[in-house]
Amino acid sequence: MRAFRIAEFGAPPQLDDVALPDPRPGEVRVRIAACGLNFADLLMIEGRYQERPPLPVTLGMELAGTVEALGEGADPALMGRRVAVFAGAGGLAEAGCFPAARCVPLPEAMPFEDAAAFQVAYGTSHVALDHKARLQPGETLLVLGAAGGVGLTAVEIGKRMGATVIACARGADRLAVARDAGADHLIDSDADDLREAVLALGGADVVYDPVGGELFTAAMRACNPEARLLVIGFASGDVPQIKANHLLVKNLTVMGLYWGGYLAFRPEVLTGSLARLFDWYAEGRLKPHVSHCLPLERAAEGLELLRARKATGKVVITMG
């Protein structure tokens, strides 16, 4: 089978021919149909992600496909099921073996491309806004990077939770995508003064930030008292330094969120969140935005779209 993988950190990934794996006890083998790309894949290539799996490693954190083989002890009911898997790695291949416990059965009408674009982006935003920030109806949510993979889902889920959503993104085209996802107000990070624009709209009660850098600092200065700031990632490449006295004066709370980390200490947070999100999808209340769908041999091109910030929503790689 084909697998898109790295042999050493910092080296370009390559499409290799590798042996079809056999599932170990507690695992299933999935015939992969689609894999969603994430900014974290770029960090893993560079060796800068918070987890460094043994090399060589097949990239691709989230995938969707059909269970085709069972390891000892795996639930027989999974055989032949269409599932989504948050694997952490291994999704950019034609097949892979993963813990059976991580397999989430898909709604009947959900295409593999939507499923591959779903877990990390929607899961991150839902856990951040619901479990961490306790976003309330009527509050104002500021979303930075609002046209990106996770930012766009934060706009959509924030509206679903009853918030007034301010979307910040670069340029009119990207802001139009955020508007279509439900944003009430739009701020162009290339042209507008973020702090002044947010304050003119009444300030922010919750800030969702996958970008970092100067935008985080400007957003913090536009917060209302008792606002909650969610640190999701640092797509700008700049990790902001927070002055603790600023938090004290306005009674602010800064919260970090590593969605995948919950698998190690509170997996029920993720499973409960995903169950609700898949229900919302089945009810037609969520619609994943996939800007590019590319075949496996063009996976490097898909990663470059993320690196250059030329994608909106998700980039999905298909195996067929």
In a domain, 175, yes or no: yes
- Residue 80 maps to which CATH number? 3.90.180.10
- Residues of the domain holding 240: 121-258
Q: How many structural domains comprise the chain?
A: 2
Residues 6+ apart with CB under 8 A from 267: none
My answer on whether 309 and 187 are in the same domain is: no
Check whether residue 149 and residue 250 sit in a common domain.
yes
Of 207, 238, 258, which residue is a domain's last? 258
- In three-state secondary structure terms, 79 is coil
**Could you tell me the two tokens for 195?**
């702090």
Q: What is the pTM of this model?
A: 0.88
- Average pLDDT of the chain, as a whole number: 95
Q: Band the pLDDT of 212: cuts 50, 70, 90.
A: very high
For residues 161 and 200, membership in a common domain is answered with yes
> What pLDDT digit, counting tens, does each position of 49-74 carry?
888 889 999 999 999 999 999 999 99
pLDDT score of 50: 83
Q: Report if residue 274 sits inside a domain.
A: no
Q: What is the CATH number of the domain that holds 186?
A: 3.40.50.720
Q: Are residues 133 and 253 in the same domain?
A: yes
In whole angstroms, give the CA distance from residue 172 to residue 179: 10
Asked if residue 270 belongs to a domain, the reply is no
* pLDDT at residue number 13: 97
Torsion region of 87: left, alpha or beta (phi above 0 gives left; psi -120 to 50 gives alpha): alpha
- Same domain for 50 and 152, yes or no, is no
